[in-house]
Chains A and B, each alone.
Chain A
């Protein structure tokens, strides 16, 4: 039986759009038959602003892109700058960057998981569990650089400052607790019948579909392809660390959730190895206050919690980048919305949007 089609606006002000994302959806009863994503409500012109700032000042703009994991944004940008200038940060700084980037990954995946469960109807309680742990990561960031969200911790050629003495015990106690907390989440969630019936087999995609649509990150790995830039194109000191890349099988909502949970476990192991290996030393190269890279271009990329985050920098020899193009994983991961959502019920659509874990700050920039 078909009913009269109805077109409704979903968002931009809606709690499960995770920001200001708007979808114009056409419904047949409760089933989605067509949709059109509309972006731009958070467009701030970061790429244009970057052209008027010095290379160091641009770091502050990257904080505001994916604001749930500012460390990996900082890292992607400073690595591109270092590639452009053909310098490398001191080893201790690279360890500090990897530790903070992995902490950022845990924080971002905690938000992704918490909101996914929230979208499933478990109102606020699981989200607050996730935020409880994220709070401690933000405290650690506050010790590192004084800020909690907009960090600007990394610099071209190193990091901002040496770690305070209270950071290391706090980090170790957080890691110990986090392992226990992850077991707690899994006992509550992973075999929960409601979560399984709502997410298993919902909105699956194949590896070929995902690759063709340039989808990267946990969404690509949930389809079963082992593609993580930390392993296939190691940057910083990732080649000194041993860790596994969790992959899924079916590329459905449940696999995306499980890949994120398992990635958090791997991040904990990475940070523990870094704590063992890190040695005292320099934390920043002695670079001039105003950096003037030679004219040229560089494309640097890192594995951010959302996928491949790249910065394509072009320098003309002046103090600000001639062009600073961002490759935003959140935006590009939304390419397959049609394939994922059409034919499913509205309630499943909400869950799929939650499992995609996109961030509007990065989508619109």
Chain B
């Protein structure tokens, strides 16, 4: 059985530096800001007690007031998983640090989010559209995207 860690267990794995993330609620996921995303994810990958060596899934969600990037991580050693979320506010010039240098598996998934939701991943070596052609206007998975007239 793969056990899903809650937010307090994740914070415990991160060590003393991140104690301030602690809240009274026991969430299923850990919210971090994009400034500390890289340090959090690299700790989760390299700490032997966490060793999240498999980046399962990156998803982007448009919540209209803000965008959310969701990371599902799994460890094949400890058979546990966790969810990390980053909220991005605004609708233009969105960016988020890329985790490509930690997990190569982020390659196509981050390109897909850039293509369909317009979130730019800084540090990705090949950040260009993946399904749609260069020059396509708009980001179709956004909630305010209007279809072309039929």
A residues adjacent to B (C-beta < 8 A): 39-40, 43, 45, 47-48, 211-216, 225, 227, 232-234, 299, 301, 308, 310, 312, 314, 322-323, 325, 327, 331-332, 334-336, 364
Given contacts A43-B131, A332-B109, contact A211 B76 (CB under 8 A): yes
CB distance from A35 to the nearest CB of B (A): 13
Q: Which of B8-16, B18-26, B87-95, B100-108 sits within the interface?
A: B100-108
Q: Is the CB of B70 within 8 A of A312?
A: yes
Q: Is the CB of A335 within 8 A of B104?
A: yes
Given contacts A299-B57, A312-B72, A327-B57, contact A335 B1 (CB under 8 A): no
Q: Is the CB of A212 within 8 A of B132?
A: no
Q: Is the CB of A215 within 8 A of B105?
A: yes
CB distance from A64 to the nearest CB of B (A): 15
State the CA gap A334–B79 with chains docked (Å). Answer: 24
* Partner among A43, A212, A233 whose Cβ is within 8 Å of the Cβ of B2: A233
Chain A residue contacts of B59, Cβ below 8 A: 312, 323, 325
B38-62 vs A: 1/0 string, CB under 8 Å? 0000000000000001111101111
A-B contact pairs, 26 of them (CB 8 A): A40-B132, A43-B131, A43-B132, A47-B116, A47-B141, A48-B140, A211-B54, A211-B76, A212-B103, A213-B103, A214-B54, A214-B106, A232-B1, A232-B2, A232-B79, A233-B1, A233-B2, A299-B72, A299-B83, A308-B56, A322-B61, A323-B61, A325-B61, A331-B112, A332-B105, A335-B107
Task: Give A216's nearest chain B residue, CB to CB.
Answer: B54
Q: Is the CB of B103 within 8 A of A214?
A: yes
State the CA gap A215–B116 with chains docked (Å). Answer: 23
State the CA gap A261–B82 with chains docked (Å). Answer: 33
